């Protein structure tokens, strides 16, 4: 027998209506009014919304970065995601220097072995040699239909313009989409040493080394190139007026260009957060940096008016107080990895984290914890304030991510035939964010002490219950790889 979600209000990107939803096996089989119980397990959803599972298309689980690895992996990170109403995500495979795309993919497939929610991969290309160009069509056939290129992180991930343009041409030829981290890495790489030489070493100077102009400039460059290559482009983690304007211009010219912002950029500012004393500002160091109240208003307008299509997280979390225990010895002995095992030896042991950048902002690992908090914070800041309708919320957090990245209608909506990824959302329930209670493996929460109204009370993945209140029902290995299609729509 199936599971019948009764008496709830179904919210999709287009509608909000009273409906019962029947799930049999892993899919939705019937939607209707007053469906009979017929021996099914009934979930009473009176006063609740039924939302499609959230999709976070920008995550970095277990990422080697900034002299350490991000804390959350495909086990802990998945559990945290599901507690926040996210049932699928797309993580970035990184091509190793000198290696192939498939070398990177093999590494990420191993990382994903304990998966508890569904996942897919983008491919971050760091070295586009001829043999790598030739691998791209086989990637698409394996369901990895997006290429990511970094215009920042000089001498680490950054590629030059010729590489970016060539990648766009090849992606367009194979029905794939190109994603860019748009910041001018050469300018940042010039500003950073000058700031450090002037004694400006605190976390807030990370923002000064990456001003909004370099995001706007790089966004414009990528947008124009995508227009010339006629390649679908998706600009990740957009933060400011300058880049939104560049995207808006490209869209007005009819270029196939889209963009996302991430939850943190709506709520955090340099002044209030990065400038906090005693190195607390490091908790908020990410690239591009958090900006100003003005930019927050620009972002809310852009998600409302359709200039931006998606809200994601760029989840990439590190300890604030990391580097505890004999981590240097462990790192040497284990070639820099195995941090979960290291931390399991003693509850006080921690891999290195933000403290790596004490006295030098450029050495602070870049990234923030957000995978658990996205849906609740965006609902609270966007829907409760009247900026977004519940349907637009679903579109930005569930449906558009699935459409743009070739997963729709299997994912991203509640419809007959779709995967039964369902969130029972209580619009009146309150949630107070805290590192003491969250499920992410970090010692701080970006929104510590803030109380949001509206939260997931039950979460289902392909018909299986993952979350019920505070209880966890997921199992390692139950998360499945999502094979994505090519030629996805440009929205
Ligand atoms: O600070 C960030 N964003 N860290 C993760 C890597 C990236 O640039 O997306
Ligand atoms: Zn990035
Ligand atoms: Zn990222």
312 CA from centroid of ligand 3 (Å): 10
Ligand 1 lined by 59 (C-beta under 6 Å):
no
Give the tens place of pLDDT for each residue, 360-371.
999 999 999 999
| Rounded distance between C-alpha atoms, residue 50 and residue 420, angstroms | 11
Average pLDDT along the chain: 97
Model pTM above 0.85: yes
Ligand 1 lined by 210 (C-beta under 6 Å):
no
| Rounded distance between C-alpha atoms, residue 42 and residue 60, angstroms | 37
Q: How far is CA 42 from the centre of its chain?
A: 33
Ligand 1 lined by 286 (C-beta under 6 Å):
yes
Residue among 366, 368, 369, 442 to mutate when testing ligand 1 (max atoms within 8 A of CB): 366
Ligand 1 lined by 411 (C-beta under 6 Å):
no
Return the ligand number nearest the Cα of 91. 3
Give the tens place of pLDDT for each residue, 74-119.
999 999 999 999 999 999 999 998 999 999 999 999 999 999 999 9
Question: What is the position in ligand 1's atom list of the atom closest to the CA of 60?
Answer: 5
pLDDT of residue 335: 76
pLDDT of residue 46: 98
Question: What is the position in ligand 1's atom list of the atom closest to the CA of 236?
Answer: 9
Task: Provide the 3-class DSSP secondary structure of residue 371.
Answer: coil
Q: How far is CA 457 from the centre of its chain?
A: 22
Give the tens place of pLDDT for each residue, 242-287.
999 999 999 999 999 999 999 999 999 999 999 999 999 999 999 9
* Max intra-chain CA distance, the chain: 73
Residue nearest to atom 5 of ligand 1 (CA): 367
| Residue 360 Cα distances to 119, 194, 269, 424, 442, angstroms | 35, 12, 20, 45, 22
Give the tens place of pLDDT for each residue, 320-340.
999 999 999 999 888 776 899
Give the neighbor-by-neighbor strand order of the sheet with 233-235.
54-59, 86-94, 118-124, 146-150, 177-181, 233-235, 257-262, 310-312
Which domains, and CATH codes, for the chain?
A: 54-318+353-375 (3.20.20.140)
478 CA from centroid of ligand 1 (Å): 28
Give the tens place of pLDDT for each residue, 214-233.
999 999 999 999 999 999 99
Residue nearest to atom 4 of ligand 1 (CA): 367
Residue nearest to atom 7 of ligand 1 (CA): 287
Whether 170 contacts 203, CB under 8 Å: no
Q: State residue 460 phi and psi, 5-degree precision.
A: -120, 140
Answer yes or no: is pLDDT of 306 > 90.
yes
Whether 117 contacts 91, CB under 8 Å: no
Give the tens place of pLDDT for each residue, 25-76.
999 999 999 999 999 999 999 999 999 999 999 999 999 999 999 999 999 9
pLDDT of residue 334: 86
Q: State residue 50 phi and psi, 5-degree precision.
A: -105, 115
pLDDT of residue 338: 84
Ligand 1 lined by 60 (C-beta under 6 Å):
yes
Two structure tokens written together for 455: 């939260």
Q: Find all residues with CB under 8 Å of 140, minimum gap 6, and list them.
A: 174, 175, 176, 486
Q: 193 pLDDT band (50/70/90 cuts)?
A: very high
Q: State residue 277 phi and psi, 5-degree precision.
A: -75, 175
Secondary structure of 393-444 in the HEC alphabet?
HHHHHHHHHHHHCCCCCCCCCCCCCCECCEEEEEEEEEEECCCCCCCCCCCC
Give the tens place of pLDDT for each residue, 287-305.
999 999 999 999 999 999 9
pLDDT of residue 61: 98
């Amino acid at each position: 027998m199936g599971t019948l979600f009764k008496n709830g209000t179904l919210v999709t990107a287009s509608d909000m209506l009273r409906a019962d939803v029947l799930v049999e096996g892993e899919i939705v089989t019937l939607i209707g009014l007053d469906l009979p119980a017929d021996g099914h397990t009934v979930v009473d959803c009176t006063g609740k919304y039924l939302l499609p599972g959230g999709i976070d298309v920008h995550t970095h689980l277990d990422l080697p970065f900034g002299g350490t690895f991000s804390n959350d992996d495909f086990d802990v990170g998945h559990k945290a995601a599901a507690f926040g109403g996210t049932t699928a995500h797309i993580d970035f495979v990184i091509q190793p220097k000198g290696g192939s795309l498939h070398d990177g993919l093999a590494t990420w497939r191993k990382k994903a072995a304990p998966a508890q929610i569904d996942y897919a991969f983008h491919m971050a290309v760091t070295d586009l040699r001829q043999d790598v160009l030739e691998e791209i069509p086989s990637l698409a056939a394996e369901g990895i239909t997006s290429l990511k290129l970094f215009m920042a992180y000089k001498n680490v991930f950054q590629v030059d313009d010729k590489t970016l343009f060539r990648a766009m041409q090849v992606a367009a030829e194979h029905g794939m989409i190109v994603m860019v981290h748009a910041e001018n890495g050469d300018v940042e790489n010039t500003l950073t040493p000058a700031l450090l030489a002037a004694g400006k070493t605190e976390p807030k100077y990370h923002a000064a080394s990456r001003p909004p102009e370099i995001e706007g400039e790089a966004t414009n460059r990528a947008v124009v190139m995508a227009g010339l290559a006629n390649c679908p482009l998706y600009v990740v983690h957009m933060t400011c007026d300058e880049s939104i304007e560049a995207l808006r211009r490209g869209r007005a010219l009819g270029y196939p260009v889209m963009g996302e912002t991430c939850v943190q950029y709506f709520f955090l500012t340099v002044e209030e957060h990065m400038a906090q004393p005693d190195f607390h500002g490091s908790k908020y160091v990410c690239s591009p940096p958090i900006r100003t109240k003005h930019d927050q208003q620009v972002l809310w307008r852009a998600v409302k008016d359709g200039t931006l299509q998606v809200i994601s997280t760029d989840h990439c979390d590190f300890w604030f107080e990391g580097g505890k225990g004999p981590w240097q010895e462990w790192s040497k002995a284990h070639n820099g990895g195995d941090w979960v095992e290291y931390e399991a030896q003693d509850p006080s042991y921690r891999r290195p984290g933000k403290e790596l950048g004490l006295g030098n902002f450029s050495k602070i690992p870049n990234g923030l914890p957000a995978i658990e908090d996205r849906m609740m914070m965006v609902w609270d800041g966007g829907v409760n304030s009247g900026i977004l309708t519940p349907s637009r919320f679903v579109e930005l957090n569930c449906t558009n991510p699935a459409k743009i990245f070739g997963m729709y209608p299997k994912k991203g909506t509640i419809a007959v035939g779709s995967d039964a990824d369902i969130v029972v959302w209580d619009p009146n329930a309150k949630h107070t964010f805290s590192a003491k209670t969250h499920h992410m493996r970090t010692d701080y929460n970006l929104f510590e002490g803030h109380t949001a109204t509206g939260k997931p009370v039950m979460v289902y993945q392909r018909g299986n219950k993952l979350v019920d209140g505070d209880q966890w029902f997921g199992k390692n290995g139950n998360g499945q790889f999502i094979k994505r299609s090519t030629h996805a729509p440009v929205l």
